[in-house]
Amino acid sequence: MATVTFDDATRIYPGSTVPAVSDLNLEVGDGEFLVMVGPSGSGKSTALRMLAGLEEVNEGRILIGERDVTDMPPKDRDIAMVFQNYALYPHMTVAENMGFALKIAGVAKEERAARVLEAAKLLDLEPYLARKPKALSGGQRQRVAMGRAIVRQPHVFLMDEPLSNLDAKLRVQTRTQIASLQRRLGVTTVYVTHDQVEALTMGDRIAVLKDGVLQQVGTPRDLYESPVNVFVAGFIGSPAMNLFPVDFADGGVQFGSHVAPVARDILAGAHGNKATIGIRPEDVRVATDGDGLPIDVDLVEELGADAYLYGHTEVDGSRVDIVARVDGRNHPVEGDKVLILPEERHIHLFDTETGQRLNPAVKD
Amino acid sequence: MSASLNITSATADTGLLDLPWDLPLDVWPAESIAALPKGISRHLVRFAYLSGYVVAIKETSAELARREYDLLRTLQRTDVPCVEPVAYVTNRTDDEGNPLDAALVTRHLKFSLPYRALYSQRLRPDTATRLIDALAVLLVRLHIIGFFWGDVSLSNTLFRRDAGAFAAYLVDAETGDLHARLSDGQRENDLEIARVNIAGELLDLAAGGKLDEETDPVEVSNGIVAAYRTLWTELTGTETFESSERWRIAERVRRLNELGFDIEELAIKTDEDGTRVVIQPKVVDAGHHQRRLLRLTGLDVQENQARRLLNDLDSYAATFHPGEEDEEMVAHEWLASVFEPITRAIPRDLQGKLEPAEIFHQLLDHRWFLSESEQRDVPLAEALTSYIDTVLRHRRDEATVFNPATDAITLPINVDWRDLV
């Protein structure tokens, strides 16, 4: 078992002036499941490959446990790239299939047998150790291949978009199971995905990257409740957070005909006299009269108990789309005009110039 | 067939349209299928007839099919030995409109052999070593152009006979990735994957009683690391010497030629006081002998076969035209009076046994053995009759040999982790 540390790690591709990963500082705890998430080009896969030893580290260091592995070849790093194409060999028993890599590595026979047995128990494969792969079901074969990675007792598992080729239904099933197996094994795991839903459902903690720069790292809840900037706010959560500019008013920010209260010292920290407000769909209150921001309802998507209301308004002459979670039975319909107000405890405010968060988050 | 079927093809072969794309590959009718050994593989692969040649068809996701097709096209353009991509087919549906997997179509390489077809009873250690040497050459060539393979193995390679050695062809590019340049870590990773996969494949042969007992799977698989490193250093390494030792430049070029490579670009630097010279090949091109033979005779053969044929051509020139400057004229004469009469003399029913250049190579060997045992110079025509009757006739056809059914079992891509926890 081991921790993983990125210490000011930077990767600049030859011929490029912009780092693919820039000064990454990140510590993954022993046994932790860390998900790196970000859009295409965010540097998440590059960061994983730096850890795997597949990309050079131009500046900074990478440590696994106390060991500096920055210049170490991949095979000496005690890592396992899970979901690599492990072949199963038809003439070898399940035990041989699981243990042959140890044989190549010169591990003694008794030690090999002990490790294979331990992995087989963990994967419920013990009764099949003497069988050939042909006699196994598809799922059992899958576990034998997993066993090949486990018997090596790697300090870290690395997974790079392992579910990207699965259909939506299988992806949902599989991600829970990977997370559950990882917890059973207790091996430090770094998992890369572009899918924020995958990140939220699987990770102990999530590291959000954009343009090679780490934006925020925290538990799924941290990221959801207190995104540090506009990017994280918009990237994490589905449907995405409503984000649009608001003007400062006396004692708060102008929200249509309503003033949402914000402490004076918070507004004083902003550049200019505007901010970007962020409201999650479940924090939007919808009314048919009274104060608020007027919205034209475009569509209501019923999901049973809840429904999502999709509408739009105009802010500073530009169309802004709004999503609100409403009651599944009792809600406005397409073509209605409604007024919305924010749940004031859960307003997120961001600086329009820097994108950084202005107000402290309230955690329930 | 669905109206929206989408075929992207490198050839304009209308025969592609006649294949039963509205059926899942595993139920294609026998008349479409060339042979039935259906290994359990990551994806379903079957062989079909298309306009007189054989194609391999692999069912996979649309994205993977397109990606692999593009990668193979790129590899082909860079002259790296690989299977020939023919087409990828998407938007397949059955007659009820249910979607079917996309398919990648590649052309079967004539006279190419899977490693499991390269022994009759047991794989012998020298054959194993030659296979691994061929794979090392392929891996170095892929790495030089920036291709990370990701799943290097004997199973993902096809071999063509090459005058006693083998030439390796990449078959499966699915896990590959093309970069501007590979890092040392990427190369090391590929090499480690190769070593472990080859050891697994040989241990599997051993478990099935198909490996000669003298062969140590671990030792042979380690051989790829040594073969790769030697070749990589020779092709890319820097060399420093005194400026008075300039002959070492020509020596380096000669060594690379001997290995079958030409230097297209060589970096030569001197230090400040001009006493030491540093050289490093920047661009190397495989096929040194191949190109020379092609230029002289129009024959397109493997590297070692070319070397063998050129040796014969050179001795022909020395015997019949000593001092002749016009190499091409002599080559033309050699082709018309030596090589072509031999290939024409091969009975039609034996032409599928081996490629003509390989037959020529074996014939030269055969003549040497005959001459040795009879202690006289056996003429080529006499050796040919003996070769056809005692050797060639007893070989199996190698023009179209398919992977035996029990290949390494690779995992299905539709990972079902429900069984895992």
Q: Does A90 touch chain B (CB under 8 A)?
A: yes
CB atoms within 10 A of CB B269: 11
- The reply to whether B219 touches chain A by the CB within 8 Å rule is no
Work out the average pLDDT over B397-419. 49
Residue B408 is predicted with a pLDDT of 42
Q: Count chain A–chain B contacts defined by CB atoms under 8 A.
A: 145
B31 touches chain A (CB under 8 A): no
Q: What angle do CA B388, B392, B398 make, to 5 degrees?
A: 145
User: Given pLDDT bands bounded at 50, 70 and 90, which one contains residue B401?
Assistant: low
B175 contacts on A by Cβ (under 8 Å):
85
- The verdict on A86 touching B (C-beta cutoff 8 Å) is yes
Q: Do A138 and B412 make contact, defined as CB atoms within 8 angstroms?
A: yes
CA closest to B206 among chain A residues = A91
Interface probe with B: pick from A69, A71, A82, A104, most Cβ of B within 10 Å: A104
Nearest CA among B65, B31, B63 for reference residue B45: B65
pLDDT of B414 over the 50 cut = no
Residue B404 confidence (pLDDT) above 90: no
* Cβ under 8 Å to B: A residues 148-207: 162, 165-166, 170, 173-174, 177-178, 180-181, 184
Model confidence pLDDT, tens digit, residues B197-214: 999 999 999 998 889 888
Residue of A nearest to B152 (CA): A85
Q: Could you report the per-residue pLDDT of B323-370, keeping only the tens digit for each? A: 888 888 899 999 999 999 999 999 988 888 888 999 999 999 999 999
Tell whether the model's pLDDT for residue B284 goes beyond 90.
Answer: no
Sheet holding B261-270, edge to edge: B239-242, B276-286, B261-270
Of B189, B207, B218, the CB nearest to A91: B207
Quick one: CA dihedral A217, A220, A226, A232, positive or negative? positive
Which pLDDT tens digit goes with each residue over A199-250? 999 999 999 999 999 999 999 999 999 999 999 999 999 999 999 999 999 9
- Looking at residue B337, what DSSP letter applies? I
* CB neighbourhood size of B390 (10 A): 11
**Residue of A54, A91, A93 lying closest to B183 (CB–CB):** A54
**Residue B203 sits at the chain A interface (C-beta within 8 Å):** yes
Question: Considering only alpha carbons, which residue of chain A is nearest residue B40?
Answer: A134
Q: Could you tell me if A61 and A102 are in contact, meaning their C-beta atoms sit under 8 angstroms apart?
A: no
Query: What pLDDT does B3 receive?
Result: 55
Out of B185, B411, B416, closest to residue A54 by CB: B185
Q: What is the DSSP string of A25-94?
A: EEEEPTT-EEEEE-STTSSHHHHHHHHHTSS--SEEEEEETTEE-TT--GGGS-EEETTS--EE-TTS-H
CA–CA separation, A7 and A60 (whole Å): 6
Tens digit of each residue's pLDDT (9 = 90 or more) over B295-306: 899 898 999 999
> B142 pLDDT exceeds 80?
yes
Give the pLDDT score at B1. 45
pLDDT at A166: 64
Q: Enter the pTM of the model.
A: 0.81
Hey, is the C-beta of B207 within 8 angstroms of any chain A C-beta?
yes
- Compute the nearest-CA separation of B249 from chain A (Å): 29
In this structure, how many other beta carbons lie within 10 angstroms of the beta carbon of residue B250?
A: 9
How far apart (Å, rounded) are the C-alpha atoms in residues A325 and A174? Answer: 28
Query: When comparing pLDDT for A243 and B415, which is higher?
Result: A243
- From A10's Cα to the closest Cα of chain B, the distance in A is 15
pLDDT the model gives residue B36: 37
| Of B197, B406, B420, Cβ closest to residue A146 | B420
Say if residues B183 and B144 touch (Cβ distance below 8 Å): no
Q: Is the CB of A174 less than 8 angstroms away from the CB of B61?
A: no
What is the predicted ipTM?
0.75
Asked if A142 lies within 8 A of B411 by C-beta distance, the reply is yes
- Give contacts of A174 with chain B, Cβ < 8 Å: 415-418
CA torsion sign for B310, B311, B314, B320 is: negative
Contact B42 A84 (CB under 8 A): no
The interface residues of chain A toward chain B in range 4-33, judged by CB-CB distance below 8 A, are 13-15
User: At residue A183, what is the residue type?
Assistant: R
* B200–A89 CB contact, under 8 Å: yes
- Residues, chain A: 364
Whether A87 and B195 lie within 8 Å, measured CB to CB: no
Query: What token pair was written down for B37?
Result: 């050994």
pLDDT, mean over chain B = 86
Bridge partners of B85, per DSSP, are: B106
Question: CA torsion sign, B140 to B143 to B147 to B148?
Answer: positive
The rounded Cα A361 to chain-centroid distance in angstroms is: 20
The answer to whether B293 touches B151, Cβ cutoff 8 Å, is no
Residue B110 has pLDDT above 50, yes or no: yes
What is the model's pLDDT at position B4? 79
A135 Cβ under 8 Å from any chain B Cβ? no
Instruction: Give residue B42's pLDDT band: very low, low, confident or very high (50, 70, 90).
Output: low
Residue B263, amino acid: I
Q: What pLDDT is attached to residue A170?
A: 66
Contacting residues of A for B67, CB less than 8 Å apart: none
Note whether B192 contacts A138, CB cutoff 8 Å. no
Per-residue pLDDT averaged across B20-41, rounded? 68
Torsion on CA atoms B329, B333, B336, B338, rounded to nearest 10: -140
CA-CA distance, A85 to A87, in Å (whole number)? 6
Contacts of range A312-320, beta carbons closer than 8 Å, 24 or more positions apart: A315/A244, A315/A245, A315/A246, A316/A245, A320/A242, A320/A244
CB contact under 8 A, A74 and B192: yes
Q: Does A40 touch chain B (CB under 8 A)?
A: no
Residue carrying structure tokens 């050289």: B279
Chain A: closest CA distance from residue B232 (Å):
17
End-to-end CA distance of chain B: 41
- The residue of B64, B181, B409, B418 whose CB has the most chain A CBs within 10 angstroms, and thus the best one to mutate to test that interface, is B409
> Residue A122: its pLDDT value, please?
84
pLDDT in tens, chain A (364 residues): 699 999 999 999 988 899 999 999 999 999 999 999 999 999 999 999 999 999 999 999 999 999 999 999 998 999 988 755 667 888 999 999 999 989 998 999 999 999 999 999 888 899 999 999 888 876 677 778 778 888 988 999 998 887 776 667 667 777 777 787 888 888 999 999 999 999 999 999 999 999 999 999 999 999 999 999 999 999 999 999 999 999 999 999 999 999 999 999 999 999 999 999 999 999 999 999 999 999 999 999 999 999 999 999 999 889 999 999 999 999 999 999 999 999 999 999 999 999 999 999 877 6
Instruction: Tell me whether B404 touches chain A (CB under 8 Å).
Output: no
Residue A228 is classified by DSSP as: S
Residue B179 bridge partners (DSSP): none
Q: Say yes or no: A287 contacts chain B, CB-CB below 8 A.
A: no
* B18-39: average pLDDT: 72
pLDDT of the residue at B37: 37
- CA gap B421, B234 in Å, rounded: 49
Contact in structure between B386 and B374 (CB atoms under 8 Å): no
| Cα A40 versus chain centre, distance | 13
Helix runs in B172-259, H state only: 184-207, 217-236, 247-258
